[in-house]
Amino acid sequence: DQQVKQNSPSLSVQEGRISILNCDYTNSMFDYFLWYKKYPAEGPTFLISISSIKDKNEDGRFTVFLNKSAKHLSLHIVPSQPGDSAVYFCAASAKGAGSYQLTFGKGTKLSVIP
Amino acid sequence: DSGVTQTPKHLITATGQRVTLRCSPRSGDLSVYWYQQSLDQGLQFLIQYYNGEERAKGNILERFSAQQFPDLHSELNLSSLELGDSALYFCASSVEGSGAFFGQGTRLTVV
* A102 at B interface, C-beta within 8 A: yes
Contacts of B62 (CB under 8 A, 6+ apart): none
pLDDT in tens, A11-54: 999 999 999 999 999 999 898 899 999 998 889 998 999 999 99
> Higher model confidence: residue A65 or residue B99?
A65
Terminal Cα-to-Cα distance of chain A (whole angstroms): 38
DSSP string, B39-81: TTS-EEEEEEEETTEEEEE-S--TTEEEEE-TTS-EEEEE-S-
Q: Is B16 exposed, middle or buried (0-12, 13-18, 19+ CB in 10 A)?
A: exposed
C-alpha dihedral, A60 to A9 to A113 to A81, nearest 10°: 10
Q: How many CA atoms, within 13 angstroms, populate the side-chain half-sphere of residue B45? A: 24
Contact list in B for residue A36 (CB cut-off 8 A) is 102
Contact list in B for residue A1 (CB cut-off 8 A) is none
Handedness of CA B104, B62, B69, B21 (dihedral sign): negative
| Helix (DSSP H) and strand (DSSP E) numbers for chain B | 0, 11
In a domain, A113, yes or no: no
pLDDT in tens, B17-30: 999 999 999 998 98
Question: How confident is residue B38, by pLDDT bands cut at 50, 70 and 90?
Answer: confident
- Asked if residues A77 and A32 have their Cβ atoms less than 8 Å apart, the reply is no
Name which of B36, B43, B48, B68 to mutate to probe chain A: the one with the most chain A Cβ atoms within 10 A of its Cβ.
Answer: B43
Look at residue A100 in the predicted model and tell me its pLDDT: 66
Residue B98: is its pLDDT beyond 70? Answer: no
* B68 at A interface, C-beta within 8 A: no
Cα gap A18→A78, rounded to integer Å: 5
> What is the β-pairing status of strands A108-113 and A10-14?
parallel
Cα gap B65→B77, rounded to integer Å: 5
Name which of A7, A101, A109 to mutate to probe chain B: the one with the most chain B Cβ atoms within 10 A of its Cβ.
Answer: A101
What is the span of the domain harbouring residue A77? 4-108
pLDDT in tens, A52-101: 999 999 999 999 999 999 999 999 999 999 999 999 999 998 866 556 67
Q: Inter-chain contact A100–B31, Cβ cutoff 8 Å? A: yes
Smallest Cβ–Cβ distance between B48 and the set A46, A99, A103 belongs to A99
How many other CB atoms sit within 10 Å of the CB of residue A58? 12
- Count of domains observed in chain A: 1
Smallest Cβ–Cβ distance between B33 and the set A89, A98, A101 belongs to A101
Residue B42: is its pLDDT beyond 90? Answer: no
* B4 at A interface, C-beta within 8 A: yes
Among candidate residues A102, A52, A50, the one with its CA nearest the CA of residue A76: A50
Using omega within 30 degrees of 0 as the cis cutoff, is the peptide bond preceding A79 cis?
A: yes
Look at residue B33 in the predicted model and tell me its pLDDT: 93
In a domain, A79, yes or no: yes
* B105 at A interface, C-beta within 8 A: yes
* A44 at B interface, C-beta within 8 A: yes
DSSP string, A36-67: EEE-TTS--EEEEEEETT-SEEEETTEEEEEE
In a domain, A114, yes or no: no
In a domain, A52, yes or no: yes
In a domain, A76, yes or no: yes
CATH number of the domain residue A19 falls in: 2.60.40.10
